[in-house]
Structure 1
Amino acid sequence: MTDLVLDDVSRWYGNVVAVNDVSMTIGPGVTGLLGPNGAGKSTLIALMSGFLAPSAGAVTLDGQPVWRNPSVYSRLGLVPEREVSFSYLTGRQLVQASAELHRLRDPRTATRRALEEVDLVDAADRAISTYSKGMRQRAKLASALVHEPEVLLLDEPFNGVDPRQRMHLMELLTRMGEAGRTVLFSSHILEEVEHIARHVEVVVSGRHAASGDFGAIRRLMTDRPTRYTVRSSDDRRLAAALMAHPGVRGVGLEAPTGATELHVEVTDMGAFARALPALARSEGITVRELTPTDESLESVFTYLVQS
């Protein structure tokens, strides 16, 4: 059983704190590292892969430190978000170079197997500079898989990948997790994580916000108070009517640009969406606009941190 453990890990750059006192254990199977852009996901993956030293705390792989321990690279593979620097190489040359750096006994056979695993054989002898974004992503993945690592870390692996390639990559990561490998991938998109990761680690502003089963965390996100802006033919009357509704937690009237805006905070988004038309009709009010105001990932994750 392979466990990658972060124990009270922090990383700062001068006065900027990128990761703040994070503890988590990544075990066999597929884990999603979820958070909005700028949350610290890439920094955490760099710490986990030994490419960045913790300013405080420790990162270990089965009890062995990752930082300044080259022996862990025989067990660990990394697919970074940044583009491949050696775009003048062919895909085959890139993967074989990785095989030779790992001092594999048969680099050619290992290269062929890795290229087959990511479905890149047909384009293997073309220069990477001619590849699409998705093909470059697969070339990076083949390079990381060539030595058959027990642990695979992927930073935003689905960025720029077309739907067919996305499905292939999701199936590959799922198979690896089912085979007992430890797979962690970062994403800022809930739907990507939902497809393949049952276990989720959520980070926000460098802090560890939540950990556990994806379904439970998704329900927490869905059940959070939701805010709407409503415009109607009579905002004041509608506000008074809404205050009596059990699913409404708060109502406010504002006039930021001269026109009145009705702001409503609800605890049950579905019940509110069903009740509003009937309530407006009974009061003789026309609802002209209903807009959610906090549907961004940042607002969802902020709610998690504050819960």
Structure 2
Amino acid sequence: MATLRLDACSRWFGNVVAVNDVTMTIGPGITGLLGPNGAGKSTLIHLLAGFLPPSTGTVTLDEAPIWKNPEVYRALGIVPEREATYDHLTGRQLTVASAELHRLPDPGAAARRALAAVEMTDAQDRKVGEYSKGMKQRIKMASALVHDPAVLLLDEPFNGMDPRQRLHLIQLLRAMGDEGRTVLFSSHILEEVEQLAHQIEVVVAGRYAASGDYREIRRLMTDRPHQYTIVSSDNRALASALVADGSTAGVSLDGDVLRVQAAEFLRFAALLPRVARDAGVRLLQVTPADESLESVFSYLVEN
């Protein structure tokens, strides 16, 4: 079981602060790293990969410093966002070269396993320069997996992949997380993060913004109105009863649907069934209208 940690970590480039006093622990399982463009996600991954030293603070793997510590690469696999590959090599040659750099006892066998894991066996003898963007992503993944790492860092790994390739990568990462490996990936495809990540870390403008699964983050934001769509046996009667209570910030009728903005989540959750019962109204459907990861993320970015 491997654990990555950033402790009071900052990184700046001249007068630009890319990461500002971030403390974060990433343990076994799958963690999604979220943030808008320029939030510092890639810088954080580069710090965790040992590509950059922190300007202040520490970055460790199982309490050992990562910067200038080649031994950590026995446990680390890295898939950078940039397509910095050797286009004149075939996919097999590139993967074997990675195995040789790790000084594996049988580089050829290790490469075959990694290529099969990312479904690149059929294209292994084509030059990397002839690959599509999605195929280049998968060959980078094979190179990162060739030494069977305990920790995998991926920067926007789904870029350029078609739906089938994305589904396969999701299944592969899930399997790694279930094995107890530590997987950290950044992605702007919020639906995939929501489906895949056990833990979510949010950074905004280089600062640490939130942590947890997206529902936990959502529940912690008590100052944010919660929106619901409700279908009942009498929407008008229910709307009148809800307006009378202070936990409801807004109510509107939209055809056959009642839209409610609740100022206090816990109070509203207890209030709604009671108000409906007292008003003689039957609740047919109650749906959170803003429970997606995208809505949580947008709120964090805006605030």
Q: Which category of TM-score, normalised to the shorter sequence, fits these structures?
A: 0.7 to 0.9
- Give, in whole Å, the separation in 2 of the partners of 1:187 and 1:29: 16
- Once the two structures are superposed, residues 118-156 of structure 1 have per-residue CA deviations (whole angstroms, 9 ceiling, x without a partner) of 110000000111111111100000000000111000001
Query: Deviation of residue 212 (structure 1)?
Result: 1.3
Aligned equivalent of 1:146: 146
Aligned equivalent of 1:69: 69
Question: Aligned pair in 2 of structure 1 residues 97, 221: CA closer, same or farther (>3 Å)?
Answer: farther
Question: Aligned pair in 2 of structure 1 residues 88, 219: CA closer, same or farther (>3 Å)?
Answer: farther
Aligned equivalent of 2:300: 301
1:195 partner SS:
helix
- Give, in whole Å, the separation in 2 of the partners of 1:181 and 1:298: 26
- Once the two structures are superposed, residues 58-99 of structure 1 have per-residue CA deviations (whole angstroms, 9 ceiling, x without a partner) of 000011100000010011010000013311211111111101
- Give, in whole Å, the separation in 2 of the partners of 1:113 and 1:213: 33
2:60 partner SS:
strand
- Give, in whole Å, the separation in 2 of the partners of 1:200 and 1:160: 23
Question: Aligned pair in 2 of structure 1 residues 218, 172: CA closer, same or farther (>3 Å)?
Answer: farther
Taking only aligned residues, the RMSD between alpha carbons, in angstroms, comes to 2.9
1:224 partner SS:
coil
Query: Deviation of residue 219 (structure 1)?
Result: 5.3
Written as runs of structure 1 = structure 2, the 5 A alignment for 1:90-239 is 90-218=90-218, 224-225=224-225
- Give, in whole Å, the separation in 2 of the partners of 1:196 and 1:98: 27
1:78 partner SS:
strand
Matched, 1:48 2:48: yes
Query: Deviation of residue 248 (structure 1)?
Result: 3.9
Question: Aligned pair in 2 of structure 1 residues 173, 298: CA closer, same or farther (>3 Å)?
Answer: closer
Question: Aligned pair in 2 of structure 1 residues 197, 223: CA closer, same or farther (>3 Å)?
Answer: farther
Contact 1:223–1:267, Cα closer than 8 Å, also in 2: no
- Give, in whole Å, the separation in 1 of the partners of 2:147 and 2:124: 18
Query: Deviation of residue 36 (structure 1)?
Result: 1.2
Aligned equivalent of 1:13: 13
Contact 1:198–1:215, Cα closer than 8 Å, also in 2: no
Aligned residue-pair number: 254
Question: Aligned pair in 2 of structure 1 residues 87, 157: CA closer, same or farther (>3 Å)?
Answer: same
Structure 1's unaligned 5+ residue stretches are 228-242, 250-264, 272-294
Question: Aligned pair in 2 of structure 1 residues 125, 8: CA closer, same or farther (>3 Å)?
Answer: same
Question: Aligned pair in 2 of structure 1 residues 298, 15: CA closer, same or farther (>3 Å)?
Answer: farther
Query: Deviation of residue 297 (structure 1)?
Result: 8.0
Q: One-letter code of the match for 1:117?
A: A
1:37 partner SS:
coil
Runs of 4+ in structure 1 off by over 3 angstroms are: 218-227, 243-249, 265-268, 295-299
Matched, 1:85 2:107: no
Question: Aligned pair in 2 of structure 1 residues 112, 221: CA closer, same or farther (>3 Å)?
Answer: farther
Structure 2's unaligned 5+ residue stretches are 228-242, 251-259, 269-293
